[in-house]
C-alpha cells in the first residue's frame, strides 16, 4: 500500500513536506512515525503528539491507509490544524460563483464580512476591478443578510441593481456583481430540494462524521440538477450559451465544484462516458441578465481539442478551472488526465493529487505528468501508440503548457492534436499571448499564438482572453467561426491544491472498481513470500500437499496481495507472453515452483521442455519433474513426444473405462511447461531442434485438444493462439505483467521471482520518501532488490525441501515418460 501525506513538523513553513509512505496494509502510524519525523527534519525525534487536522491521533491505533490517514491527509506534529469548514453549521455562506478568482466558499457566522482585493479582506478576491475594500456583507441576528458598498470605484450590483446606499437586504440566492466577480449569498432558510438516489463515490469511512453536515448542505445547493432532466447536447464546436437556472445547476460553478470534492456527494463523478454532458466544460458565464449566470460551455467531444490563449496568470487560472471541473464531474474510469508542462512542475504539481493522473494503462511512471523533456517524450510515446486504435471508452485529456522541446516531440504533439480526438485523446493547449484588445485585435493575437504553438490550429475551439485585464473570454470555433463571449472563470493555485487534495483518497464505487494501479505494485516479488512459505521446510510442504485441492497457481503479487488461480479449473492452456528479457522464463519457473508447493510428486508430475537454452534447468531439481528435455537433443525430444502421446492415449483409455465420474480422477495431474515455445515449434533453418519440430507440434496439439479432460495441463512461454489464460509481461520493471482472461478485466501483477535468493523482508519493510513532484513522471524508482549472490536460490531451497518431504510420500503413480 502506498499513501501520500503532507507533514507539518515543528515550526514548519505552512506548506509542509509531501512524503510517500509504502507499507504493508494495516501498518500502524507508530511504525513509521520516527522515519516521518527524520524525513521532514533530519535528526528530529519522534513527535510526542500527532494531529490530523484538528484530531489528535493515537499512533498505535491509527492504521496507514485508513481514515483519517488516507491519501492527501495533512499530519501536524505538536499542534492541531483548522478542520475543513462545514457550511451546514453556519447560517449563511458567500460563494464566489464566477470571475477571475472563482470557487471560494466563505462561511458567514455572524457580523460583517468585508469583500475586497486586499489580502486582509474576509473574502479576498484577486480581481483587478474590485476595490481593496469593496463591500461588506452582514449577517444579522435574525438570520437576514444585507450588503453595503464601501465606496468602491466600480460599484456593487445586487441582482442587477446598483447598491448605492447600504445596507440593502439580500435574498438567499441573490447575485452580487463586483468588478468581474460574481458572488452568490446563500442563507440557510430555504428547504432542501429532494435528491435523486444515487450511490456516492467511495472513500474509506470517516469516523466522527465531520463532513456529513457539508454533504447535506451541498445537496441543498447542487441536488436539483438530475442528469435525466438534461436537454440533448447539440454540437457547438465554437461553444454554447446555456440559459435558465437548470443550465446553471447542470454545469456547476467552481464553488459547487469545490464542494463536490469536499463533500463527495452524488454529483461527484456523475458523468460516465455515456452521460449527455460528458466532457463538456463551463468556461464562464455570459453577462446578459443581472440575476442569472448563463453558463458558456464547450464540449470536448465536439471541439476535439480546446485551446486557451492569454497572459500567463489568467490563462493558468482558467486552465486550472477547466481541469478541476473535468476531474470533479468524471470518474477516473471515464477520464485520464495527462500533463505536458516542461519546466512547470511548480504550477501543475497539484494535479499529482488527482486520482485521474495515476498510470492505469501500464505506463512506466509514478504519475502521468511530464515536467521535463524526457518525461514529455515518454508521455507522448504512450499517447501516440494509441492513435489509430479504437478507444476503450475512457478518454484522456492532455494539458499542454509550454514548448514540448525537440522537432520529434513537436511533431508527435501535432499528430496527437490532429488524430488524438478520434482515439479519445483531447488536448487542452495553453498559449501565452497578451490579452486581445483594440490595439492587439483578436485575429492577430490568435495568429501569433498559433505560430508559437502550432497544436492550437487543430483545436476545434479556442478561447482567447480579452479586455484590458484579460477577464473576458472570446470563443472562436474551427475556421475562425466566432463563438460566444464569456466572463472567464479562473481559480487560484491554492484553490486547486485544496480541491485536488480533497479528491486524492476517493475511489470509484464498488460496482465499477478502477483497475488497480500498476504503480502500486512492488518492484519485485519473492514467490516464496507470496506463497506464504518464507521458510520452506519439508513439514510445511507435506502439510500443504495433504490439504491440496485443485492445482493452485500463485502468479506473484497484485495490488491487493498475492494473485492466484486454480489451474485445475482453467478452461484451456496458459500462455506466458512478452518481449525477450521481460521475464518469461522466470515466470514459467515460478509457475512450476508454485505448482510443486500445492501438490506432492505423487499427485502431480511436471514435464519441462526447453525450446531454446536451459532456462528451466533450476526447476529440473524439483522431485515432481519426471521429464526435462530440450530441443538441442532431437532424439530424446522425439522419444519424449511419442511418450507424451502414448500417455494421452493411456489416460483416454482409463477415462473410457472409468466408472461413474470417470476413472481419470484417480490419475495424477500432468503439467507440461514449455519455454521458448516459438523456437520449439518453428525453429530456424539449421537449428538442432528442427528435425523434431513436427512431432513436437503434433504432441502439444494433442495436449491442447484432449489434455483438458485427461488431467493434463499445458503452460507455454510464447504466443499460443487459443490460449484461455494469458500472462502478458508488459515491460517496465522486469516481471511486470497482466493476467488476461476472456470477459474479465486485466489484473496487473508483479511476477514471482524464484531463481534468485532475496532476503525475506526486502519487499515488506515500510519506507518513507520525500515526494518530488518534478520527478513523478519518471519511471518509479527501482528500489534495488538485494539478491544474495552466494548460497542456494529459492527454487533450490524449495527443491531440496520438496525432495525431503517426498521421501515417505506414498509412491507416485508416475507418468510413463522418458
By CB under 6 A, name the binding residues for ligand ATP. Answer: 524, 578, 580-586, 615, 734-735, 751, 753
Nearer residue to ligand ATP within complex by CB, 363 or 585: 585
Nearer residue to ligand ATP within complex by CB, 131 or 763: 763
- Please state the closest distance from residue 761 (CB atom) to ligand ATP, in A: 17
Q: Give the CA angle between residues 75, 79, 85 to the nearest 5°.
A: 70
CA distances from 557 to 228, 432, 531 (A): 42, 46, 10
- Please state the closest distance from residue 607 (CB atom) to ligand ATP, in A: 19
- Please state the closest distance from residue 674 (CB atom) to ligand ATP, in A: 12
Compute the distance between CA of residue 369 and CA of residue 263 in angstroms, rounded to an integer: 27
- Please state the closest distance from residue 519 (CB atom) to ligand ATP, in A: 16
Q: Are 752 and 526 in contact (CB under 8 A)?
A: yes
Q: Are 614 and 679 in contact (CB under 8 A)?
A: no
Rounded to 10 deg, the angle between the 493-503 and 254-263 helix axes is 30
Question: In the chain, what are the helix, strand and coil shares in percent, each to the nearest 5?
Answer: 30, 25, 45
- Please state the closest distance from residue 693 (CB atom) to ligand ATP, in A: 18
- Please state the closest distance from residue 589 (CB atom) to ligand ATP, in A: 8
Cell matching residue 508 = 470509484
Nearer residue to ligand ATP within complex by CB, 601 or 735: 735
Comparing C-alpha atoms, which of 496, 505, 519, 503 is closest to residue 350?
Answer: 496
Nearer residue to ligand ATP within complex by CB, 466 or 524: 524
Annotated binding site: 578-585
- Please state the closest distance from residue 672 (CB atom) to ligand ATP, in A: 18
Nearer residue to ligand ATP within complex by CB, 122 or 787: 787
Nearer residue to ligand ATP within complex by CB, 490 or 612: 612
- Please state the closest distance from residue 789 (CB atom) to ligand ATP, in A: 12
Compute the distance between CA of residue 576 and CA of residue 643 in angstroms, rounded to an integer: 25
Tell me how far the alpha carbon of residue 208 is from its chain's centroid: 28
Nearer residue to ligand ATP within complex by CB, 308 or 590: 590
Strands 74-77 and 50-52: antiparallel
Compute the distance between CA of residue 704 and CA of residue 717 in angstroms, rounded to an integer: 15
Nearer residue to ligand ATP within complex by CB, 573 or 735: 735
DSSP assignment of 279-327, as one string? Answer: TEEEEEE---SSS---EEEEEHHHHSSEEEEE-HHHHHHHHHHHHHHHH
Nearer residue to ligand ATP within complex by CB, 765 or 786: 786
- Please state the closest distance from residue 722 (CB atom) to ligand ATP, in A: 22
- Please state the closest distance from residue 557 (CB atom) to ligand ATP, in A: 10
Comparing C-alpha atoms, which of 496, 484, 309, 308 is closest to residue 397?
Answer: 308
- Please state the closest distance from residue 495 (CB atom) to ligand ATP, in A: 43
Rounded to 10 deg, the angle between the 212-222 and 254-263 helix axes is 140
Tell me how far the alpha carbon of residue 231 is from its chain's centroid: 31
In SS3 terms, 345-412 reads as HHHHHHHHHCHHHCCCCCCCCCCCEECCHHHHHHHHHHHHCCCCCCCCCCEEEEEEECCCCCHHHHHH
Compute the distance between CA of residue 238 and CA of residue 303 in angstroms, rounded to an integer: 7
Nearer residue to ligand ATP within complex by CB, 390 or 580: 580
Compute the distance between CA of residue 785 and CA of residue 801 in angstroms, rounded to an integer: 25
Nearer residue to ligand ATP within complex by CB, 208 or 581: 581
Nearer residue to ligand ATP within complex by CB, 278 or 629: 629
- Please state the closest distance from residue 757 (CB atom) to ligand ATP, in A: 12
DSSP assignment of 428-484, as one string? Answer: EEEEE-PPB-SSS-HHHHHHHHHHH-GGGGG-SEEEEEETTTT-EEEEEEGGG-EEE
Compute the distance between CA of residue 759 and CA of residue 761 in angstroms, rounded to an integer: 6
Compute the distance between CA of residue 723 and CA of residue 717 in angstroms, rounded to an integer: 11
| Sign, Cα dihedral of 421, 404, 350, 781 | positive
Annotated binding site for ATP: 578-585
How many C-beta atoms lie closer than 10 Å to residue 446's C-beta? 22
- Please state the closest distance from residue 786 (CB atom) to ligand ATP, in A: 12
| Sign, Cα dihedral of 241, 247, 251, 252 | positive
Nearer residue to ligand ATP within complex by CB, 580 or 686: 580
SS3 state of residue 37: helix
CB-closest chain residue to ligand ATP: 735
Amino acid at each position: 500500500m502506498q499513501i501520500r501525506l503532507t507533514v507539518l513538523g515543528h515550526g514548519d513553513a505552512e506548506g509542509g513536506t509531501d512524503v510517500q509512505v509504502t507499507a504493508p496494509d494495516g501498518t500502524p502510524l507508530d511504525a513509521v512515525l520516527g522515519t516521518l519525523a527524520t524525513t521532514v527534519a533530519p535528526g528530529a525525534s519522534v513527535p510526542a503528539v500527532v494531529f490530523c487536522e484538528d484530531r489528535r491521533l493515537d499512533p498505535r491505533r491509527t492504521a496507514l491507509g485508513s481514515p483519517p490517514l488516507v491519501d492527501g491527509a495533512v499530519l501536524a506534529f505538536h499542534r492541531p490544524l483548522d478542520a475543513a469548514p462545514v457550511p451546514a453549521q453556519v447560517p449563511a455562506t458567500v460563494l464566489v460563483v464566477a470571475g477571475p478568482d472563482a470557487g471560494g466558499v466563505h462561511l458567514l457566522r455572524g457580523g460583517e464580512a468585508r469583500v475586497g482585493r486586499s489580502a486582509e479582506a474576509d473574502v479576498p478576491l484577486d480581481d483587478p476591478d474590485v476595490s481593496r475594500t469593496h463591500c461588506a456583507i452582514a449577517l444579522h441576528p435574525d438570520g437576514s443578510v444585507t450588503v453595503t458598498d464601501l465606496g468602491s470605484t466600480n460599484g456593487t450590483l445586487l441582482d442587477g441593481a446598483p447598491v448605492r446606499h447600504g445596507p440593502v437586504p439580500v435574498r438567499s440566492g441573490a447575485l452580487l456583481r463586483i468588478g468581474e466577480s460574481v458572488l452568490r449569498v446563500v442563507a440557510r432558510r430555504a428547504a432542501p430540494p429532494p435528491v435523486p438516489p444515487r450511490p456516492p463515490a467511495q472513500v474509506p469511512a470517516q469516523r466522527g462524521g465531520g463532513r456529513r453536515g457539508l454533504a447535506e448542505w451541498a445537496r441543498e445547493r447542487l441536488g436539483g440538477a438530475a442528469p435525466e432532466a438534461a436537454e440533448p447536447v447539440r454540437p457547438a464546436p465554437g461553444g454554447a450559451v446555456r440559459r435558465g437556472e437548470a443550465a446553471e445547476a447542470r454545469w456547476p460553478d467552481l464553488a459547487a465544484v469545490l464542494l463536490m470534492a469536499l463533500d463527495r456527494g452524488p454529483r461527484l463523478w456523475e458523468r460516465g462516458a455515456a452521460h449527455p454532458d460528458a466532457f463538456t466544460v463551463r468556461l464562464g458565464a455570459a453577462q446578459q441578465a443581472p440575476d442569472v449566470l448563463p453558463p458558456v460551455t464547450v464540449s470536448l467531444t465536439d471541439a476535439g481539442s480546446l485551446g486557451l490563449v492569454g497572459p500567463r496568470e489568467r490563462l493558468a487560472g482558467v486552465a486550472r478551472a477547466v481541469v478541476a471541473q473535468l476531474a470533479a464531474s468524471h470518474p477516473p474510469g471515464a477520464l485520464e488526465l495527462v500533463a505536458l508542462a516542461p519546466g512547470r512542475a511548480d504550477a501543475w504539481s497539484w494535479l499529482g493529487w488527482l486520482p485521474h493522473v495515476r498510470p492505469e494503462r501500464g505506463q512506466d511512471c509514478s504519475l502521468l505528468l511530464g515536467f521535463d523533456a524526457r518525461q514529455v517524450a515518454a508521455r507522448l510515446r504512450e499517447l501516440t501508440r494509441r492513435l489509430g486504435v479504437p478507444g476503450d471508452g475512457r478518454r484522456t485529456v492532455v494539458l499542454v503548457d509550454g514548448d514540448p522541446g525537440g522537432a520529434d516531440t513537436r511533431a508527435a504533439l501535432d499528430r496527437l492534436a490532429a488524430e488524438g480526438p478520434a482515439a479519445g485523446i483531447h488536448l487542452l493547449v495553453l498559449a501565452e499571448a497578451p490579452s486581445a484588445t483594440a490595439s492587439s485585435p483578436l485575429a492577430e493575437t490568435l495568429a501569433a499564438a498559433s505560430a508559437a504553438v502550432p497544436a492550437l490550429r487543430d483545436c476545434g475551439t479556442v478561447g482567447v482572453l480579452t479586455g484590458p485585464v484579460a477577464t473576458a473570454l472570446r470563443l472562436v470555433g474551427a475556421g475562425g467561426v466566432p463563438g460566444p463571449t464569456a466572463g472567464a472563470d479562473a481559480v487560484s493555485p491554492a484553490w486547486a491544491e485544496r480541491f485536488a487534495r480533497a479528491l486524492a483518497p476517493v475511489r470509484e464505487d464498488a460496482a465499477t472498481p478502477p483497475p488497480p494501479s500498476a504503480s502500486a505494485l512492488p518492484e519485485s516479488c519473492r514467490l516464496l513470500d507470496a506463497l506464504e512459505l518464507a521458510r520452506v521446510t519439508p513439514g510445511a510442504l507435506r502439510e500443504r500437499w495433504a490439504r491440496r485441492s485443485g492445482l493452485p497457481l500463485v502468479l506473484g503479487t497484485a495490488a491487493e496481495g498475492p494473485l492466484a488461480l486454480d489451474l485445475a479449473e482453467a478452461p484451456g492452456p496458459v500462455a506466458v507472453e512478452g518481449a525477450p528479457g521481460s521475464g518469461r522464463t522466470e515466470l514459467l519457473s515460478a509457475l512450476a515452483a508454485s505448482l510443486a508447493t500445492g501438490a506432492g510428486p505423487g499427485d502431480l508430475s511436471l514435464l519441462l521442455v526447453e525450446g531454446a537454452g536451459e532456462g528451466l534447468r533450476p526447476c529440473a531439481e524439483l522431485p515432481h519433474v519426471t521429464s526435462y528435455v530440450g530441443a538441442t537433443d532431437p532424439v530424446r525430444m522425439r522419444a519424449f513426444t511419442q511418450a507424451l502421446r502414448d500417455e494421452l492415449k493411456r489416460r483416454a483409455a482409463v477415462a473410457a473405462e472409468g466408472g461413474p465420474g470417470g476413472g481419470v480422477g484417480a490419475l495424477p495431474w500432468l503439467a507440461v511447461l514449455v519455454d521458448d515455445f516459438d523456437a520449439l515449434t518453428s525453429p530456424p533453418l539449421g537449428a538442432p531442434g528442427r528435425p523434431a519440430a513436427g512431432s513436437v507440434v503434433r504432441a502439444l496439439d494433442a495436449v491442447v485438444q484432449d489434455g483438458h479432460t485427461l488431467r493434463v495441463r499445458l503452460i507455454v512461454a510464447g504466443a499460443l493462439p487459443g490460449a484461455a489464460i494469458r500472462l502478458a509481461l508488459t515491460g517496465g520493471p522486469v516481471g511486470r505483467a497482466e493476467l488476461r482472461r476472456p470477459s474479465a478485466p486485466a489484473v496487473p501483477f508483479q511476477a514471482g521471482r524464484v531463481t534468485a535468493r532475496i532476503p525475506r523482508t526486502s519487499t515488506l519493510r515500510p519506507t518513507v520518501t520525500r515526494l518530488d513532484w518534478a520527478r513523478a513522471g519518471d519511471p518509479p524508482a527501482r528500489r534495488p532488490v538485494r539478491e544474495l549472490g552466494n548460497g542456494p536460490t529459492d527454487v533450490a531451497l524449495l527443491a531440496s525441501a520438496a525432495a525431503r518431504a517426498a521421501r515417505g510420500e506414498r509412491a507416485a503413480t508416475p507418468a510413463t515418460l522418458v
